[in-house]
Amino acid sequence: MNIELSEAAAEYGRQALRALRAAGGDRLVQLAEREPGRREDLVAPVLRELGAWDLDPRGDADDLEAAAALCRSAGYWAVAYPVAERLARPADLDVDGLVVVADSAPKGAVAGLGLRWVAVTLDGRRGDAVARTPNVPPRTSAFVTDLDVRPLDEAGAGDVALGLVLPCWTLLGMLDRAIELTRSHVLARHQFGGPLAERQGVQFQLTDAEVERSGAEALAKYALWSVQAGLAEALDDALALRLAALEAAETVFRTAHLLHGAIGFCDETTLSWVSRYSQPVRRLPLGLSATRDRLTRQIGRRGLTGLFPGATS
């Protein structure tokens, strides 16, 4: 078992990070929110130039790792575009992307793109999905909209794990950025004659947040390997990753907002944008409690194989 990304995939992620920075970086999400009609034009050309849509995450192990690295880079810049959903598109359907949805009231952050979508439930039921025109602006919706789903088949069991794992890599990139922004803030902000970073309480909080983030990263690599290897328990691993990523997000963003203070909720700070656009990934298709409940029912009493099979308490 080797859960580390290949150097080629890591380099692809770094190239994506640089390309998105050159295309506007933090301004990409701000411009998309201000001018929703330009959402596709702001990001899609960069992704095409990177060869994103030539990747075959389902058929090639190296491409799967590159896709994960790309999702992480998109998350770092809080790109308001469904990169993970497009990369997870099924090979057997003529669609542009796949959205994992809840059993009722299906939603996705895919408003205003004019793309062809297929929705899949956690039970593997697929349907053609059409995004409704949202009745609230991106400022409050983060481009989330209701989906009209027409049942198609029940052949989506193999789609669900990948459809859950790649968005978690996007969220991981957001956690990377939130930690980075918070470290910079406490180093630059002075109180009582010194930088906030010198305060022991601040150091403890940042350490706790980084432990959560690094734990989610390890599980993201393992779940990706599980999908890559075609393990029977890949869906279990994907749900376990989602649960860990959501728990890490709770800790990381709580700490980041606490240490930034009120300014962390203002548009003048990048943290505000990253935090706000993390919400669709954190809430869809299931939030923290619902994900925990689903994982519990999924694995029952048999537990997870995980990184350390055969371990006993």
Q: Is the residue at 97 inside a domain?
A: no
Average pLDDT, integer, range 205-225? 96
Q: Give the domain extent around 177.
A: 159-299
Q: What is the pLDDT of residue 312?
A: 45
- Alpha-carbon dihedral sign for residues 83, 9, 54, 222: negative
Does 29 fall in a domain? no
Roughly what angle, to the nearest 10 degrees, separates helices 270-277 and 234-260? Answer: 150
Task: Report yes or no on 310 lying in a domain.
Answer: no
Residues 183, 75, 269: CA angle, nearest 5 degrees:
45
For the residues 235-240, what does the mean pLDDT come to? 96
CB atoms near residue 304 (< 10 Å):
15
Cα(183)–Cα(206) distance, integer angstroms: 8
* Residues β-bridged to residue 128: 118, 150
Would you say residue 133 lies in a domain? no
pLDDT score for 309:
57
| pLDDT above 70: residue 46 | yes
Does residue 140 have a pLDDT over 60?
yes
Inform me whether the pLDDT recorded for 308 exceeds 80. Answer: no
Does residue 224 belong to any structural domain of this protein? Answer: yes
Question: Can you read off the two tokens belonging to residue 22?
Answer: 């050159």
Q: Which CATH number belongs to the domain containing residue 245 in this structure? A: 1.20.140.10
How many other C-beta atoms are found inside a 10 Å radius of the C-beta of residue 61? Answer: 16
At 196 the pLDDT is 76
Percent of the chain with pLDDT over 70: 96
Cα–Cα distance, 26 to 184 (Å, whole number): 16
Q: What is the mean pLDDT of residues 148-153?
A: 96
Number of domains within the chain: 1
Q: What is the pLDDT of residues 266-291, one digit of tens each?
A: 989 999 999 999 999 999 999 999 99
Q: Tell me whether residue 126 is in a domain.
A: no
Q: For residue range 83-132, list pLDDT tens digits in order.
A: 999 999 999 999 999 999 999 999 999 999 989 999 999 999 999 999 99
CA 15/CA 73 separation, integer angstroms: 9
Over the chain, what is the mean pLDDT?
93
Whether the pTM exceeds 0.85: the reply is: yes
Residue 271 to residue 179: CA distance in whole angstroms:
10
For the stretch 50-81, pLDDT in tens is 999 999 999 999 999 999 999 999 999 999 99
Residue 51 lies in a domain: no
Identify whether 240 is part of a domain: yes
Q: Find out whether 241 and 220 touch, Cβ atoms under 8 Å.
A: yes
